[in-house]
Chain A
Amino acid sequence: MLVREIRLRHANGLHARVAARIVKVSGRFRSRIVLCVGERRASARSIMAVLMLAAAFGATVRLETEGPDELAAMEAVSAVLVAPGERK
């Protein structure tokens, strides 16, 4: 299992559109992908779960990936978390 901690720098935190992109990206991998904020844990495959994490600006998100493609999944989901909203 891989673990990485990422601090959210987007003004509105894990807002709906970023959450949607996390779900979309996660759908490409077979690994288990979990986001944690404090005590709360959410499957990256469920938009409701990700939204309910209530990860606001400045929150630290712990990203866990486990499975055959855990490294690729970690990189892809991290990329969304690190630069949310950036589409260029």
Chain B
Amino acid sequence: MITFALHGIGVSGGIAIGRAQLVSHATLEVAHYTVPAARVDQEIARLDFAVDEVQKELTALHNTMMRSGEVPGEFGAFLDVHWMILNDPTIAEAPKRIIAEQRCNAEWALTQQMNVLIDQFDQIEDPYLRERKADVVQVVERVLKRLMGKPGSLPSAVAEERTILVAHDLSPADVIQFKQHHFAAFLTDLGGVTSHTAIVARSLAVPAVVATHNARQMIRDGEMLIVDGSSHVVIVNPDRAVLAEYRLKQSEKLKRLRSKPAETLDGQRVMLNANIELPGDLAQVLDSGANGVGLFRSEFLFLNRYGLPSEDEQFEAYRAVAAGLSGKPLTIRTFDLGADKQKADLEGLARVAPNPALGLRAVRFCLAEPKLFGTQLRAILRASHYGKVRILIPMLASVAEIDATIALIDEAKENLREQGEPFDANVPIGGMIEIPAAVLAMGGFLKRLDFLSIGTNDLIQYTLAVDRSDEAVSHLYDPLHPAIIKLIALAIGGANKAKVPIAVCGEMAGEVLMTRLLLGLGLRDFSMHPAHVPTVKQRVLGSDVGAIKPLVERIKRTDSPAKLAALIDKLNA
């Protein structure tokens, strides 16, 4: 294997090392054959069907994108353009005439028509308008892939290995799908600083080199690549010495980032905590440079087992994590059982609720099963002797639930005192803000609790009355709904005013496109999957809270979703 370097434009900095994954390009592989006269209609129907399918694909992507709020809003406009091109008679109709006249296959007819259009574009003087031919090629590419029986989606990255996507060019539809895969870097033959690839790569904080001219032809599937976005270079098949050198560079950079405190450009300190599900996730937390654990979901104790975990077993699990964090805070959320986390072997949950999300779950279930709850509370309290433990209560709707929970905690403390078990008598007790009622009646929460944590996933579900797992309505799940932003602003503002610490521990906290919005709303404590800590930290380091404040004020007042999307884009620019 020969080592060689390719040069391009590094549109997103950083170093990635991984294996190449080539994106196939249907336009380069089109065959030509003649169709018997009797089958012409069938061939035309085949084209119609493919165009129809791609239309559905683009619409579905558009909906996914609007829902997730994870991709810059202008991508919606790009998808609209592609949808219109697809429906334009020059693409949807003209190839049919070619099929009929030349008795050729649909792929060939479509490619020929594409070449006619490209020739026309090539005659345009203005360079920017001339480049719009790329949109035509990308649309045709999608239809061809359908015709040839290949799905329109990108290959998914192999999770265990770092995968680098190598493509001739990528369409907006392609890049929206990036969000669902985890590529270590992007390489394209075409493109520039403002190409779709560049925009998304930067938003994902993933290295990217574009305009390499022929990377797609020079690189083979599975080859080892080093992508250095900061130096605009790609090294193919690096030898051991080069690889070692880059690995060192990479790890030093990560190390520097890991030990760097998360502080905004205008000097605001921000806490970045990790969400974990298993005691084994601890190593990843320490590796990420997180300040501590902002959410330790305790439901793992019920995984793959029959019956209830004993107090000692729970204590041991909590203690291990508390001690392993060596002084860093550990927030343990009490059982969030019920709803989607059905456990048929628990007596109280044996009956199937007609509407589980609104039924007996989380703290409601725990208060209905005081024995089970008491066991967990005692185990957590005992672990508090070995680290900086905090207790977090999920799904609170009313102060009565808070009072009942605190009474149970006091009872557990009394038990432990009698038994002579050591524990932290001042262990902070916090509540999840995930029901709109909790935000709107937050005064009582602020008086009774030591800290709050906003669970955005449930808050969105309950505010918009949308079950995200129900495909029929999942497109209505919108983290950027004006009502959601207003509720979050209200919660953060109220807690900050009362000087009660507040965090966000939902998916929103780990989403880099939301970081500035949350900072601007006054949030200084984020809890997320440990993998997201470095990227969010990078975003925090590059944000100026004072400067974005006026924009965030406008976002808070906006009721129009379109305007909101534009403002969020501006915020992230």
Number of A-B contacts (CB under 8 A): 63
Interfacial residues of chain B within 483-542, with CB under 8 A of chain A in the complex:
none
B420 in the interface, Cβ–Cβ < 8 Å? no
| Chain B residues, CB < 8 A from A55 | 129
Q: Report the bound CA distance from A12 to B130 in whole Å.
A: 11
Q: Mark A27-50, 1 if CB is under 8 A from B, else 0.
A: 000000000000000000011110
Would you call A13 and B126 a contact (CB within 8 A)? yes
Q: Report the bound CA distance from A19 to B121 in whole Å.
A: 15
Would you call A16 and B135 a contact (CB within 8 A)? yes
Would you call B85 and A47 a contact (CB within 8 A)? yes
Would you call A15 and B84 a contact (CB within 8 A)? no
Would you call B562 and A23 a contact (CB within 8 A)? no
Q: Report the bound CA distance from A48 to B89 in whole Å.
A: 9
A17 in the interface, Cβ–Cβ < 8 Å? yes
| Chain B residues, CB < 8 A from A16 | 78, 81, 132, 135
CB proximity of A60 to chain B, nearest CB, Å: 14
Would you call B88 and A56 a contact (CB within 8 A)? no
CB proximity of B114 to chain A, nearest CB, Å: 11
Q: A48-B90, A48-B91 are in contact. Are A13 and B84 (CB under 8 A)?
A: no
| Chain A residues, CB < 8 A from B128 | 12-13, 15, 56
B80 in the interface, Cβ–Cβ < 8 Å? yes
Would you call A47 and B81 a contact (CB within 8 A)? yes
Q: Mark B134-174, 1 if CB is under 8 A from A, else 0.
A: 01100000000000000000000000000000000000000
Would you call B121 and A87 a contact (CB within 8 A)? no
CB proximity of B248 to chain A, nearest CB, Å: 43
CB proximity of B226 to chain A, nearest CB, Å: 35
Would you call A52 and B81 a contact (CB within 8 A)? no
How many residues of B sit at the interface, in one of the four size bands? 20 to 34
**Main secondary structure on B side of the interface with A:** helix
B80 contacts which of A20, A49, A52 (Cβ < 8 Å)? A20
Would you call B84 and A56 a contact (CB within 8 A)? no
| Chain B residues, CB < 8 A from A54 | 124-126, 129-130
A25 in the interface, Cβ–Cβ < 8 Å? no
CB proximity of A39 to chain B, nearest CB, Å: 13
How many residues of A sit at the interface, in one of the four size bands? 20 to 34
B219 in the interface, Cβ–Cβ < 8 Å? no
Would you call B88 and A47 a contact (CB within 8 A)? yes
A15 contacts which of B80, B90, B132 (Cβ < 8 Å)? B132
Q: A13-B129, A51-B129, A52-B124 are in contact. Are A19 and B90 (CB under 8 A)?
A: no
B56 in the interface, Cβ–Cβ < 8 Å? no
CB proximity of B360 to chain A, nearest CB, Å: 46
CB proximity of B447 to chain A, nearest CB, Å: 42
CB proximity of A19 to chain B, nearest CB, Å: 7
Would you call A20 and B124 a contact (CB within 8 A)? no
Would you call B81 and A46 a contact (CB within 8 A)? no
B120 contacts which of A20, A47, A52 (Cβ < 8 Å)? A52
B563 in the interface, Cβ–Cβ < 8 Å? yes
| Chain A residues, CB < 8 A from B562 | 87
Q: Report the bound CA distance from A13 to B132 in whole Å.
A: 12
Interface centre among B74, B77, B132, B566, by most chain A C-beta atoms within 10 angstroms, is B132
| Chain B residues, CB < 8 A from A57 | 126
B301 in the interface, Cβ–Cβ < 8 Å? no
Kindly report which residue of chain B lies nearest to residue A88, judged by CB atoms. Answer: B563
CB proximity of A67 to chain B, nearest CB, Å: 20
| Chain A residues, CB < 8 A from B124 | 52, 54
A81 in the interface, Cβ–Cβ < 8 Å? no
Q: Report the bound CA distance from A49 to B89 in whole Å.
A: 10
CB proximity of B126 to chain A, nearest CB, Å: 4
Q: A13-B128, A13-B129 are in contact. Are A52 and B121 (CB under 8 A)?
A: yes
Would you call B77 and A17 a contact (CB within 8 A)? yes
B117 in the interface, Cβ–Cβ < 8 Å? yes
A74 in the interface, Cβ–Cβ < 8 Å? no
Would you call A56 and B77 a contact (CB within 8 A)? no
Kindly report which residue of chain B lies nearest to residue A87, judged by CB atoms. Answer: B566
| Chain B residues engaging chain A, CB cutoff 8 angstroms | 74, 77-78, 80-81, 84-85, 88-91, 117, 120-121, 124-126, 128-130, 132, 135-136, 562-563, 566
Top 10 A-B pairs, shortest CB-CB distance: A56-B126, A54-B124, A47-B84, A48-B90, A48-B88, A16-B81, A20-B81, A17-B77, A12-B128, A54-B129
8 A-B pairs besides A52-B120, A87-B563, A88-B563 with CB distance below 8 A are A12-B128, A24-B80, A46-B90, A47-B84, A48-B88, A51-B132, A54-B124, A54-B125
